[in-house]
Amino acid sequence: MKSILLHINDDMCMDARLQAALDIARACDSHITCLQSVSYEVFAPGDFAGNAMAAALPRIREAAEQLRADIEADLANEDVSWKWRFLYGAAEQKLLEQSALHDVIIVGPHDIGEEGSRGPSTMAGELALDAPAPVLVVPGSTKRMDVRAPVLIAWNGSSEAAVALRAAVPLLACSDRVFLACVGEEKENVRYDFPASEAARYLVRHGIEAEVVEIPRGKGKIADVLAKAAAARECGMLVMGAYGHSRLAEMLLGGVTRHMLSDPKLPILLAH
C-alpha cells in the first residue's frame, strides 16, 4: 500500500489512526495524504439571519488551523513521506473524491461529532461501499499498527469477502501469520461462491500462507465470535467484506458489519 489517505479530524481517535498510518507507511514505504475537510455549514434553529454561523466561523477556522499546526509539527519529526490537503466540504464526500488514487483510506470508528455513540460509523460504511479503495477503521485504543502481527480474515465465501481479501494482500504479505476464519452457520445461510480452500490458494500465489480455521458459532453473534477469535490469536487486524446483505433490509450495513463497527476492539479493513 504505497498511497495512504488519512482522515484528519480533532477527535479522540485521531492519534490512533495517525500512528496506524505512520506504522503502515514505514513498513510499506508509503506516502500519506492528510486530508482535512471542514464544513462551515452551521445550523441553529431560528437563525434565519445567519448570526450563529457568522459567530461560529472564526472558532471553526481557528480550531482547524491549530489542529493542522499540531499534526504537521509531529509529522515533521517522522521519517515518512506526507503532504497536507485542506478542502471545504463534508469529510465523507471529500474522502470519497480523493480515494481514486489511494490504496487505503484510514478513518476512525465514529462519525464527526458522535464519539459517544455506540452505533457504527455511517461515514466508514458509505466509504466501504462506494470508494475504490479499502477502508481501515482504527479504534482509539490502538497504540500501534504492528503489520507483522497475525491477521484474521472473516471468510464466508462471498464476493465481498473476496474483494476485501484482495485489497488486504499488501498488508497480509507483511504479517507473520494469516488466518482464514470460517464461522459455522446454518446451512441456508452458508455462501458457497468461493470456498476457503480457493481463497487460500489465491493467497499462496502471492507468497502468503494462510491457515484455514473453522470456528463454531454457538449461540453468540458472528461479530462477537470473530472478535474473540482474533483476540485469542493475538491478531493486529481483522479483514472482512462489507455489506453482505441488502442495503435496504439492513439499513446500509449488513448485520455482521454493523456489529463489528459498533465497538471495534482492533483495526478492521473493510471492502465491498
Can you spell out the DSSP letters for 116-156? T--SPPHHHHHHHHH-SS-EEE--TT-----TTS-EEEE--
**Closest by alpha carbon to 271, among 251, 254, 248, 250?**
254
Instruction: Check residue 253 and give its pLDDT.
Output: 44
CATH superfamily of domain region 151-271: HUPs (3.40.50.620)
pLDDT of 263 reads 80
Distance CA 210, CA 200 (A): 6
Q: Name the least confident of 21-35, 140-154, 174-188, 250-264.
A: 250-264
Task: Note the residue count of the chain.
Answer: 272
Least-confidence region, from 72-81, 99-108, 208-217, 242-251: 242-251
Q: Return the percentage of the chain with pLDDT > 70, whole number.
A: 82
216 band by pLDDT with thresholds 50, 70 and 90: confident
Band of residue 60 on the pLDDT scale cut at 50, 70, 90? confident
Determine the Cα–Cα distance for residues 91 and 111; give it in Å rounded to an integer: 10
The whole-angstrom separation of Cα 88 and Cα 39 is 6
* pTM of the model as a whole: 0.89
Residue 254 has pLDDT above 70, yes or no: no
Give the domain ranges of the chain. 3-137, 151-271
Say whether domain 3-137 belongs to CATH 2.10.60.10: no
Say yes or no: do domains 3-137 and 151-271 share a fold: yes
Which CA distances in Å does 216 have to 33, 228, 236, 264, 268? 41, 12, 22, 21, 21
